[in-house]
Structure 1
Amino acid sequence: MASNTNPDAALAIAELNMTCARPFDDARAMPPQVYTQASFLEVEQQTIFQREWQCVGRVSALARAGDYLTADIGGQPVVVIRGSDDSLHAYSNVCLHRMSVLLEGRGNVRTIVCPYHAWSYTLAGELRAAPLMDRQAGFCKEAYRLPKIRCETWQGWIYVTLNPDTRPLSEHLAELSALIAPYEMGNYVETFYEEHVWDTNWKILAENFMESYHLPMLHRATVGPHSKLEEMECPPGHDAFNYHWITKEATLPIGNAHPDNTRLEGHWRKTTALIAIYPSHLITLTPGYFWYLILQPRGVDQVHIRFGGGLSPEFVSDPSGREYMKTLKALLDKVNAEDRRGVEAVFRGLHAPLAKPGHLSPLERPNYDFARYLGQRVSDENRA
Structure 2
Amino acid sequence: MAKDILDPVEALRQNTSIPFEQARAMPPEVYTTETFLQEELKHIFAREWFCVGRADALAEPGSYTTCDLAGQPVIVIRDRDGELRALSNVCLHRMSTLLQGRGQVRSIVCPYHAWTYNLDGSLRGAPAMTLNDGFCKDSYTLPRVRCEEWLGWVFITLNPDSPPVSEQLADVEKMIAGYDMTNYTEAFFEEHVWDTNWKVLAENFMESYHLPVCHAGTIGGLSKLEDMICPPGEPAFNYHTILKDESLRIAMAHDKNDRLKGEERRTTFLLSLYPSLLITLTPGYFWYLSLHPVSPGKVHIRFGGGMSDDYKDDPDAKQNFADLKTLLDDVNVEDRGCTEKVYKGLSSNAASPGHLSHLERPNYDFAQYLMARIDAGRAA
* Correspondence 1:356 to 2:315: no
Aligned twin of 1:276: 272
After superposition, the Cα gap between the structure-2 partners of 1:268 and 1:63, relative to the gap in structure 1 and judged at 3 Å, is same
- What displacement does 1:381 show? 5.1
Aligned twin of 1:237: 233
* Correspondence 1:373 to 2:369: yes
Q: Is the 8 A contact 2:223 2:243 kept in 1?
A: no
Q: Which 4+ stretches in 1 moved above 3 angstroms?
A: 380-384
Letter in 2 for 1:237: G
1:160-175 paired onto structure 2 within 5 Å: 160-175=156-171
Aligned twin of 1:3: none
For residue 29 of structure 1, give the secondary structure of its aligned residue in structure 2. coil
Aligned twin of 1:61: 57
After superposition, the Cα gap between the structure-2 partners of 1:381 and 1:102, relative to the gap in structure 1 and judged at 3 Å, is closer
Aligned twin of 2:39: 43
Equivalent-residue separation in structure 2 for 1:145 and 1:9 (angstroms): 47
Letter in 1 for 2:164: P
* Correspondence 1:93 to 2:89: yes
1:129-148 paired onto structure 2 within 5 Å: 129-148=125-144
Q: Deviations over 1:55-76 (max 9, x none)?
A: 0010001111110011111111
Q: Is the 8 A contact 2:62 2:80 kept in 1?
A: yes
Letter in 1 for 2:280: T
Aligned twin of 2:193: 197
Letter in 2 for 1:221: G
Aligned twin of 1:293: 289
Alignment partner of 1:23 out of 19, 24, 27: 19
For residue 292 of structure 1, give the secondary structure of its aligned residue in structure 2. strand
Q: Is the 8 A contact 1:294 1:305 kept in 2?
A: yes
For residue 233 of structure 1, give the secondary structure of its aligned residue in structure 2. coil
Q: Is the 8 A contact 1:156 1:185 kept in 2?
A: yes
After superposition, the Cα gap between the structure-2 partners of 1:46 and 1:199, relative to the gap in structure 1 and judged at 3 Å, is same
Identity of aligned residues (%): 58
For residue 379 of structure 1, give the secondary structure of its aligned residue in structure 2. helix
Range moving further from structure 2, 35-44 or 216-225: 216-225
* Correspondence 1:318 to 2:314: yes
For residue 7 of structure 2, give the secondary structure of its aligned residue in structure 1. helix
Q: Is the 8 A contact 2:28 2:352 kept in 1?
A: yes
- What displacement does 1:148 show? 0.4
Q: Is the 8 A contact 1:30 1:357 kept in 2?
A: yes
Q: Is the 8 A contact 1:248 1:271 kept in 2?
A: yes
* Correspondence 1:247 to 2:236: no
Aligned twin of 2:340: 344
Q: State the number of aligned residues.
A: 377
For residue 349 of structure 2, give the secondary structure of its aligned residue in structure 1. coil
CA-atom RMSD, angstroms? 1.3
* Correspondence 1:219 to 2:221: no
Equivalent-residue separation in structure 2 for 1:69 and 1:337 (angstroms): 25
For residue 153 of structure 1, give the secondary structure of its aligned residue in structure 2. strand
Q: Deviations over 1:133-166 (max 9, x none)?
A: 1210111111110000000001100000000011
Gaps of 5+ in 2: none
Q: Is the 8 A contact 2:212 2:221 kept in 1?
A: yes
Q: Is the 8 A contact 1:231 1:248 kept in 2?
A: no
After superposition, the Cα gap between the structure-2 partners of 1:359 and 1:260, relative to the gap in structure 1 and judged at 3 Å, is same
Equivalent-residue separation in structure 1 for 2:379 and 2:161 (angstroms): 14
Q: Deviations over 1:21-44 (max 9, x none)?
A: 111110100010111101110110
- What displacement does 1:379 show? 2.1
Q: Is the 8 A contact 1:9 1:39 kept in 2?
A: no
Q: Deviations over 1:64-112 (max 9, x none)?
A: 1110011111111110111011111110010011111100001111110
Letter in 2 for 1:372: Q
Equivalent-residue separation in structure 2 for 1:202 and 1:374 (angstroms): 13
Letter in 1 for 2:40: E
Aligned twin of 2:118: 122
Equivalent-residue separation in structure 1 for 2:129 and 2:291 (angstroms): 40
Gaps of 5+ in 1: 1-7
For residue 375 of structure 1, give the secondary structure of its aligned residue in structure 2. helix
- What displacement does 1:227 show? 2.5
Equivalent-residue separation in structure 2 for 1:171 and 1:366 (angstroms): 21
